[in-house]
């Protein structure tokens, strides 16, 4: 997270905690697909208090707390329930909304569910950014209009079967173990800060949707969705044992826990510290930057640890540590470890350069094979087996509609690319040879 973003967050929080009537922020509009409805205060004796704010869909609802961020697709709404005692009237409310959001394209749909309950939705199916601040006393909520999605199952013969996704999502996590249902992510954020996600599961055969309200805490992005369950289990054990650390990781057999802080320690599930290694580390300028990718990974046989170590205030290096000998060895300077194969001695890394990111698959000797070209990104989203990885390649940045994403299977031994289909791949069934991709439905 850069300094400007941190300053913006701090300033926003101060403005919310300390009201000055003279301040009347003007929204910065780039597209009509996303907006920020923020806590306002009394203005021109038209003070309006929102008693409750919720995200509403055909498959469930979620009450939004202060500083929330929510995904919203056409057909879903934000429900504002105003306090009757201080309600300024429907016309005044609609006027303020359209003034602040500057809905010049008439993309917003305002529908009064009752005298003091308003539903706000959007006609648009693209994602964009539109920030505005409303001068009312209500929770600060950012809503992001996302497109409708389809899951595409591509069989070994190249046949594609499409399934409509009826709930807004920012990405598919994975298929369930039986490859019958899809797990989708819904983000939870405080302003610009990702704090976790909730998920819903859709049965591809019946179309049934189950909303899971359990919050999965942490900073999750498409590039590490496949680590979600492992990270959640790791954090649960950390809490049970009362441990803390900058990074941690549960072993493959679930018997040991590695924690990296001032030292690299290994604990049993009962909390016994069985191994300790002194690791010289620098101090990052923003320690929170560890949270996006940083974990302590284990080799497939649990005999080695793979981890990142700060070299100075801005750089992380990749290391491998042999638990038997205690020897730590540098794998790559400025390489960030994103994931590790559970089948073979390979890891997926990103190297930061002035020209952009270099995404690679590296072996335990430090030899790496670059996956992307200049101005292109490559994400390993699943290690299929000891010789294959599911990889998405796209021009940066990734389009919200996935129109610039192409899915491949990379054969590690041969160094060969096998094209699967256009779209963002998120899982692969090795038994049937079926790849699962996410497509977005474009605007009409």
Tens digit of each residue's pLDDT (9 = 90 or more) over 278-320: 876 655 554 544 444 578 999 999 999 999 888 776 778 899 9
Top-confidence residue, 68 or 359: 359
Average pLDDT over residues 369-392: 94
Overall number of domains in the chain: 2
Is the pLDDT confidence value at 205 over 70? yes
Tens digit of each residue's pLDDT (9 = 90 or more) over 322-367: 999 999 999 999 898 999 999 999 999 998 887 778 999 999 999 9
Q: Are residues 326 and 354 in the same domain?
A: yes
Average pLDDT over residues 61-89: 77
Is the pLDDT confidence value at 125 over 90? no
Top-confidence residue, 399 or 89: 89
Average pLDDT over residues 114-120: 87
Q: Are residues 373 and 238 in the same domain?
A: yes
Average pLDDT over residues 363-384: 94
Beta carbons of 71 and 169 less than 8 angstroms apart = yes
Tens digit of each residue's pLDDT (9 = 90 or more) over 207-218: 999 887 677 766
**CA dist., res. 429 & res. 155, Å (int):** 10
CATH number at residue 262: 2.130.10
Q: Are residues 294 and 360 in the same domain?
A: yes
Q: Are residues 303 and 325 in the same domain?
A: yes
State the pLDDT at residue 442. Answer: 64
In a domain, 276, yes or no: yes
- 3-state DSSP: the chain helix, strand, coil percent, rounded to 5? 15, 45, 40
Q: Are residues 262 and 363 in the same domain?
A: yes
Sign of CA dihedral 395, 400, 406, 407: positive
In a domain, 299, yes or no: yes
Q: Are residues 25 and 117 in the same domain?
A: yes
Task: Provide the domain limits for residue 428.
Answer: 149-179+223-440
DSSP letter at 228 equals: H
Determine how many CB atoms are found less than 10 A away from the CB of residue 287: 10
Is the pLDDT confidence value at 9 over 60? no
Q: Are residues 319 and 369 in the same domain?
A: yes
Tens digit of each residue's pLDDT (9 = 90 or more) over 382-420: 999 999 999 999 987 766 667 789 999 999 999 999 999
Tens digit of each residue's pLDDT (9 = 90 or more) over 222-250: 667 889 899 889 999 999 999 988 889 99
State the chain's mean pLDDT as an integer: 78
Average pLDDT over residues 97-125: 74
State the pLDDT at residue 17. Answer: 32
In a domain, 3, yes or no: no
Percent of the chain with pLDDT over 90: 40
In a domain, 334, yes or no: yes
In a domain, 12, yes or no: no
Strands 416-422, 34-37: pairing is: unpaired
In a domain, 191, yes or no: no
State the pLDDT at residue 195. Answer: 63
Q: Are residues 62 and 158 in the same domain?
A: no
Beta carbons of 370 and 350 less than 8 angstroms apart = no
Average pLDDT over residues 127-145: 47
State the pLDDT at residue 352. Answer: 80
In a domain, 7, yes or no: no
State the pLDDT at residue 320. Answer: 95
Is the pLDDT confidence value at 426 over 90? yes
**CA dist., res. 240 & res. 236, Å (int):** 6
Q: Identify the band that residue 8 occupies on the pLDDT scale cut at 50, 70 and 90.
A: very low
Q: Are residues 173 and 296 in the same domain?
A: yes
State the pLDDT at residue 262. Answer: 78
Q: Are residues 130 and 247 in the same domain?
A: no
Average pLDDT over residues 170-177: 91
Q: Are residues 134 and 165 in the same domain?
A: no
C-alpha of 74 from chain center: 21
In a domain, 380, yes or no: yes
Is the pLDDT confidence value at 81 over 80? yes
Top-confidence residue, 210 or 179: 179
State the pLDDT at residue 221. Answer: 67
Q: Are residues 432 and 354 in the same domain?
A: yes
Tens digit of each residue's pLDDT (9 = 90 or more) over 246-277: 889 999 999 999 999 878 999 999 999 999 99
């Amino acid at each position: 997270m850069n300094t400007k973003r941190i300053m913006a967050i701090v300033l926003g929080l101060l403005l919310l905690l300390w009201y000055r009537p003279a301040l009347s922020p003007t929204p910065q509009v780039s597209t009509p697909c996303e907006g920020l409805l923020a806590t306002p205060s009394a203005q021109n004796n038209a003070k309006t208090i929102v008693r409750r704010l919720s995200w509403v869909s055909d498959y469930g609802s979620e009450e939004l707390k202060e500083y929330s961020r929510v995904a919203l697709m056409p057909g879903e709404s934000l429900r504002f329930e105003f306090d009757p005692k201080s309600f300024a009237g429907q016309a005044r409310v609609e006027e303020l909304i359209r003034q602040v959001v500057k809905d010049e394209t008439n993309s917003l749909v305002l529908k009064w569910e009752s005298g003091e309950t308003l539903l706000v939705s959007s006609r648009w199916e693209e994602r964009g950014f539109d920030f505005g601040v409303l001068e009312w006393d209500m929770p600060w909520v950012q809503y992001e209009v996302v497109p409708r999605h389809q899951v595409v199952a591509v069989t070994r013969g190249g046949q594609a079967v499409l399934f409509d996704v009826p709930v807004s999502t920012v990405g598919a996590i994975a298929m369930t173990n039986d490859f019958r249902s899809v797990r989708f992510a819904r983000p939870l954020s405080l302003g610009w800060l990702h704090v976790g996600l909730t998920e819903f599961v859709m049965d591809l055969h019946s179309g049934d949707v189950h909303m899971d309200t359990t919050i999965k805490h942490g900073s999750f992005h498409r590039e590490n969705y496949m680590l979600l369950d492992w990270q959640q289990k790791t954090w649960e054990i950390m809490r049970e044992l009362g441990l803390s650390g900058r990074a941690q990781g549960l072993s493959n057999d679930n018997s040991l826990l590695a924690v990296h802080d001032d030292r690299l320690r290994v604990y049993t599930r009962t909390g016994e510290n069985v191994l300790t290694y002194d690791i010289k580390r620098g101090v990052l300028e923003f320690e929170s930057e560890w949270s996006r990718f940083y974990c302590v990974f284990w080799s497939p046989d649990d005999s080695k640890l793979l981890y990142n170590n700060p070299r100075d205030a801005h750089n992380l290096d990749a290391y491998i540590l042999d638990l038997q000998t205690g020897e730590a060895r540098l794998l790559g300077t400025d390489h960030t470890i994103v994931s590790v194969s559970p089948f073979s001695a390979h890891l997926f890394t990103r190297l930061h350069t002035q020209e952009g990111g270099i995404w690679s698959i590296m072996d335990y000797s430090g030899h790496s094979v670059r996956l992307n070209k200049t101005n292109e990104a490559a994400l390993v989203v699943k290690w299929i087996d000891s010789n294959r990885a599911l990889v998405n390649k796209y021009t940066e940045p990734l389009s919200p509609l996935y129109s610039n994403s192409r899915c491949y299977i990379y054969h590690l031994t041969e160094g060969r690319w096998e094209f699967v289909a256009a779209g963002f791949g998120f899982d692969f069934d090795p038994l049937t040879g079926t790849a699962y991709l996410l497509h977005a439905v474009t605007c009409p």
